Chain A
Amino acid sequence: MPNSKIFCNIPWFELNINNDGSFDLCGCQNDKILGTPLGQVWNIKKMSIEEYWNSPRMKEARLIKLGEILDPMCRMCQLKDELGYESPRRKENMKSLIFLDSFERSYRQSPNLSRFQYSENNQGVTETTVHSLHINLGDRCNFACRMCNPYFSTPLQREWKELGWIKPTTNFDHWSDDPVGWANFMGYLERHPDSIRVMHIIGGEVAFIPKFDFLLNYLVEKDMAKNINFSFTINGSVDYTKYFDKLAKFKRTEIGISIESIQPIGDYIRQKGRIKSIMSNIEKLKKERPNNMSLAIRTVPSILSLPTYASLIKWCYELGIPIDNSILVGPVWQQAKLLPNNLKQKVIEEVSAIFDILPKTENKEFNNQKDPHKIDVSIRNECESIIGLAKVPAPTDAEQLRKTCAEKLNQWDKLKKINLKDYSAELYEFLSAYGYEGHTNA
């Protein structure tokens, strides 16, 4: 019997393709091999998806999930599990009908039990095929978000080079522009038209990635769309209704909209974004979406966003859109636990005030956080998660990390010619004590 705190069925059905074509387990994984020498070995530019699926790396990944040692690549889920929050692992295991709250009994009844046992008895080999693809389809973006990195944003590639945070020669060639990589990807779809059931696309911003349009058209024209749960993440900056006719042909679609705050600090975090305009776009999406589409707000709570998070929760609840946060693993200097106690306490009080007025719900243990039909549960979970996050004590090296945060933002804002005080007085007051100045006209 695997360990309930470790087991995850992702390596039996899902594959993640990073920006450079490297393969990883899932989108939530930390320490991806993206941009590393290993990433050039396990790469769609070098091998087919079938070859990778039973490669030594994947076999080892399966055996780790069946073993007793916590996977160091899965810290985000482990952190969420510790906070008692809906971790992706919990939801993913539901694909095999494994309930973490009744792990042993549900594992023994899982329709995929034989598959796990097969791998256990065959050194990690599986006879399954990939049915869920999590794909980075391009890095072209119009935003430069603070907690993002250059692999996901063309403006960040330029800015980080100017800031000296990465080498000027750093290569961001995208796998989807590589003829072999693209042929390997499309070849898999052609060879397995019936096995793909879930496809999640990230960027960049999909509206600026030509391959997104191509893929959408392909899946519709090949009549694969009707079997696929198709999802993607957007930054909410453009009108997406132009895709609705095609998206309506999928079995189900889900759009995740990344925002961090509905206050002015939202525009500071997501540079080039205009939160008021994004909020209007979201309201339009909600109003005009086809019946098979649901929406979710995707956040990455950080030192910059947590102080105003309560107003975002309230807005989402009133709009009826669930929130699903991802815990920020890196950069460490932006982690929410670095906030001073007075700001953490404010967050706890504001979010608790929302939590207290939400209807009491059952079934907290078993819930799809993004299920719009269970918005009360989703928002309650979100409140609990954020309160839990605000209660995480500052680490022993917090003072040094706060200085790093002030230094990095100071350097960045001087380049951008902006100042944090124009977006958040409380954060300016906090970080200026650690040396933050920002752009000044003097």
Chain B
Amino acid sequence: MNFYQPMVMKDTPMRDVKLALEVEPKFWSEKPKVKIEFNQQVLFEDYLEETKKFNWTLPAKDINRLSVFFLNKTEQDTVGDKDKAIIVKSIGIEGFQYSSFMLQSKYCPIYTNGYRRHAKENNLSTDPIINSNYLGFNGEWYLEFTWPIYQWIFETETKGMGWIYEKNI
């Protein structure tokens, strides 16, 4: 049998994933409110007063989604240089913290009407999905990854190389 021919994976009792997340609040008046979900299950929902680090071991599906929702921003929260935001500082998966994880993440800002007008006048982007770990609007930041997680980590880290590991063929 070819080494790379797919074999049926026995379902192991360890179908879980170790996740770490660090989020930092930015505010000058009201604290930002955050909700963190994994595969639509709420892990945390509260106001953030200081940087918070989370560590979880969670059951994994074939496709997984870690989400950070910013819930309580209003147009009045941005005044001059003052802002209210949530910054996703780091993501760890299985104990690894690679910058490629952050590069895979997406952010769907819910732009305010005021910002849309401002963006139109100044030719700024209002793309529905952007790459940013600075959550300056309400909306969802998320990272999707697949199972087996080590395959996803490897492929994410070695994009384009394909030298060491080849997927089953």
Contacts and interface: CB of A to CB of B under 8 A. Distances in A.
Contacts of A110: 148, 150
Contacts, number: 100
A113 B6 CA distance: 11
A102 interface: yes
A131 interface: yes
Given A111-B151, A363-B98, A368 B163 contact: yes
A115 interface: yes
Contacts of B54: none
A111 to B, nearest CB: 6
B95 A114 contact: no
B14 A131 contact: no
A129 B2 contact: yes
Interface string B144-169: 00011111011001101111111010
> Binding site of A, secondary structure by majority: helix, strand, loop or mixed?
loop
Contacts of B163: 229, 252, 254, 368, 371
B158 A368 contact: yes
A13 B10 contact: no
A195 interface: yes
Interface residues of A, number: 38
Contacts of B18: 105
B79 interface: no
Interface in B1-20: 1-4, 6-10, 12, 14, 18
Nearest to B167: A111
B164 A362 contact: no
B22 interface: no
Of all A-B residue pairs in the complex, the 8 with the closest CB atoms, nearest first, are A109-B148, A131-B3, A106-B150, A114-B7, A97-B150, A13-B3, A128-B3, A127-B1
Given A127-B1, A251-B162, A363-B96, 15 more contacts: A97-B148, A99-B94, A99-B150, A99-B153, A108-B12, A108-B14, A109-B149, A109-B150, A112-B7, A113-B12, A114-B10, A197-B4, A252-B162, A363-B99, A368-B158
Interface of B: 1-4, 6-10, 12, 14, 18, 94-99, 147-151, 153-154, 157-158, 160-166, 168
13 contacts: A97-B148, A97-B150, A98-B150, A102-B95, A105-B14, A109-B12, A109-B147, A109-B151, A113-B10, A114-B10, A128-B3, A197-B166, A252-B162
